[in-house]
Amino acid sequence: MAPGVPAGRFVIGVAPGVPAGLRDAPTHSCLPGTASSTSATDRRVVMSATLPPHPPSARSPVPSLDSVTTIRADGSRPFLYPSDSHGRFTTARRWSAYLLIAVYLALPWIPVNGYPAVFLDIAERRFHLFGVTLAAQDLWLLFFLITGVGFALIFVTALLGRVWCGWACPHTVFLDHVYRWIERWIDGDAPQRRALAAAPVGFKKLVKRITKHALYFLVSAVIAHLFLAYFVSIPEVWSMVRADPLQHWGAFVFMMVATGTLHFNFAWFREQLCIVLCPYGRMQSAMIDDHTLVIGYDWMRGEPRGKRHAPTHAVAAQFRAPALTEGLPPGPSTTPGDCVDCFRCVHVCPTGIDIRQGLQLECIGCTACIDACDDVMTRLHRPKGLIRYASQNAFSGKPTRWFRPRTILYAVLLAIGAGVAGTALSTVRPANLSVTRITGAPYIVDVASVRNQFFVRLVNKRNEPVALQLQITDVPAGVRQNGFTAPIEIQPLGEIVQPLVLQQPRHDYTGPFHFAIQVRDARNTFTLSRALEFLGPEARLLREEEAEAARGTK
């Protein structure tokens, strides 16, 4: 823990370039690869009490680095009512969210090769992914998918910070662009929602609350049912909906629990999921460095805060004091910066933080503060970008390096993983072959032959019938095959299990040997192969037994 940081409070990064005299104690940066102490030109400090505080107001909780904004001194949680923001990033995020929601809603409906684009048919152990069908034996390939997605997220975070949280996380997408839209439509803007929450229970408030939560529950049910459709298909979900719940009581209970959980999360828990449950915010300090693109406040340009036509506050004089101006741009001692201390960036934040206090784990990178600040700067005829996407080094006036050991290593590992995954996927065939030895004795010896018995399982992963021909290769002369002597036709997504018996005459038997089973389709488009071993006793023992039997007959 950095000096001067209260116990239990985790600060990821703070604004560079701020004079150390503004704080009681400088702190070490907790970002990997940064300097271990402050310097004249690059100081990192924890900002809180000595900066101009948020004026006490009933409008919103006061952001502080001593604790998360959504926890009061008594441990209770104040409910947040973030104001609306408008701007280029808000518009881009909205259209991005609509696209992601459309993809989520459409995938169970879009047919590809006769099945939904994504259909995880657990009951039949078939997994259809954009026309590729995987059997249960192919699930090992999911290792590459899961680890690839996780590692790609780490790589993107090292470059672009929490862009996933702000732009693509399902929780953020549905909360900001579905549930909050319903809330604004029914309860009004932030001041109206705050006033409604503080108002006594009456007919109008009761009607609004019932209407809002009814719509919340309806949307949650739709999301949950579509999630179930990924595993049982849309027609099956529709048949379950129309049938007696007792006929599908397991699915019914799952749907009720899932719907209730979604309703609870999006109606009440909200930002607490990001702050309390999701570990991603706490892990970002290990994934980012001073060159990572983050959302931050330009201290060099914004401080000291105040209105240019009004007297500056006491901190302005201290900020421009001669002893504290080392490393800062020159300027009159009473000239305020571009930040007018309007707190608009705080009012629009969905997690209630003040981005001017530095990068914090609660920041999900939603860009609402950027649009809010840009709107204020535009009205004041000042340049945009006081709050913007930039690296910590950029805010310090230093260059940002996109290609650095961390990102190069991640890119190389991703490329290697993609190559291995591509090679593994190339081994996937439209059918599957598995061979197991029949339970019991591994081999049988009778007066005429040595016999091995197997079960052969063939799975057709296509949506059309397929004719397969089985052939035994690399066997000695005299070995006879019983079973699979003719082509076998397997129905779409069907499978068969049949015995296969191999026999070798005793007089030709010379000991165990290796052989292969090959399966080809009628059009010879693919070949499946399994290497096996024909088991039996030592040939010498059979010869001794035959010699002893011959002597006994004389």
- Tell me whether residue 533 is in a domain: yes
Question: Which two three-digit tokens encode residue 447?
Answer: 């007066």
Cβ contacts of residue 74 below 8 Å, gap of 6+?
none
Domain containing 218 equals 61-107+161-315+329-397
Query: Do 342 and 439 belong together in one domain?
Result: no
Query: Do 242 and 356 belong together in one domain?
Result: yes
Q: What is the pLDDT of residue 67?
A: 78
Q: Distance between CA 514 and CA 496 in Å, rounded?
A: 25
237 by Cβ neighbours in 10 Å (0-12 / 13-18 / 19+) ranks as buried
- Tell me whether residue 415 is in a domain: no
pLDDT digit string (tens) for 68-125? 888 887 888 889 999 999 999 999 999 999 999 999 999 999 998 888 999 998 888 8
CB hemisphere CA count around 323 (13 angstroms)? 4
For the chain, the average pLDDT equals 82
The one-character DSSP state at 80 is P
Cβ contacts of residue 339 below 8 Å, gap of 6+?
297, 302, 303, 305, 356, 386
Q: What is the CATH number of the domain that holds 530?
A: 2.60.40.10
Query: Do 479 and 376 belong together in one domain?
Result: no
Classify the C-alpha dihedral 488-492-496-502 as positive or negative: positive
Query: Do 165 and 213 belong together in one domain?
Result: yes
Q: What is the pLDDT of residue 51?
A: 41
Query: Do 215 and 356 belong together in one domain?
Result: yes
User: Could you tell me if 60 and 47 are in contact, meaning their C-beta atoms sit under 8 angstroms apart?
Assistant: no
Mean local confidence (pLDDT), 261-281: 93
- The region that residue 49 occupies, defined by phi over 0 for left and psi between -120 and 50 for alpha, beta otherwise, is alpha
Domains contained in the chain, number: 2
Choosing from 348, 373, 397, the residue where a domain stops is 397
Torsion over CA of 274, 276, 277 and 281, rounded to 10 degrees?
A: 50
User: Could you tell me if 255 and 132 are in contact, meaning their C-beta atoms sit under 8 angstroms apart?
Assistant: no
User: Could you tell me if 15 and 395 are in contact, meaning their C-beta atoms sit under 8 angstroms apart?
Assistant: yes
Query: Do 391 and 450 belong together in one domain?
Result: no
The one-character DSSP state at 51 is S
Q: What is the pLDDT of residue 334?
A: 56
User: Could you tell me if 363 and 163 are in contact, meaning their C-beta atoms sit under 8 angstroms apart?
Assistant: no
Question: Which two three-digit tokens encode residue 538?
Answer: 């030592």
Query: Do 289 and 349 belong together in one domain?
Result: yes
Using the predicted structure, report yes or no on whether residue 550 has a pLDDT greater than 90.
Answer: no
Question: Which two three-digit tokens encode residue 457?
Answer: 């399982």
pLDDT digit string (tens) for 439-487? 989 999 988 899 999 999 999 888 788 999 999 998 888 899 998 988 8
Question: Which two three-digit tokens encode residue 379?
Answer: 């009205």
Q: What is the pLDDT of residue 553?
A: 67
Question: Which two three-digit tokens encode residue 314?
Answer: 């006491």
Query: Do 345 and 456 belong together in one domain?
Result: no
Q: Which among 341, 302, 307 has a CA at the least distance from the CA of 319?
A: 302
Using the predicted structure, report yes or no on whether residue 127 has a pLDDT greater than 80.
Answer: yes
Q: What percent of the chain has pLDDT above 70?
A: 84
Query: Do 436 and 393 belong together in one domain?
Result: no
User: Could you tell me if 366 and 166 are in contact, meaning their C-beta atoms sit under 8 angstroms apart?
Assistant: yes
Query: Do 261 and 384 belong together in one domain?
Result: yes
Q: What is the pLDDT of residue 308?
A: 62
The one-character DSSP state at 11 is B
- For residue 543, the one-letter residue type is R
More confident residue, 35 or 416: 416
- For residue 86, the one-letter residue type is H
pLDDT digit string (tens) for 505-537? 988 888 899 999 999 988 888 889 999 999 999
- Tell me whether residue 441 is in a domain: yes
CA Rg value for the chain: 34
Q: What is the pLDDT of residue 47?
A: 35
The pairing of strands 480-482 and 449-460 is unpaired
The helix/strand/coil state of 383 is coil
